[in-house]
Amino acid sequence: MKESVQMAMENGARRVLIPLKNKRNFLEVSGEIIETVDPIFYSNPQTAAMKALFLK
* Per-residue model confidence as pLDDT tens digits over 29-47: 999 888 999 999 999 999 9
Give me the domain span that covers residue 35. 2-52
Number of domains, the chain: 1
For residue 15, the number of C-alpha atoms closer than 13 Å in the C-beta half-sphere is: 9
Name residue 40's beta-bridge partners.
17
pTM of the shown model: 0.77
pLDDT of residue 55: 67
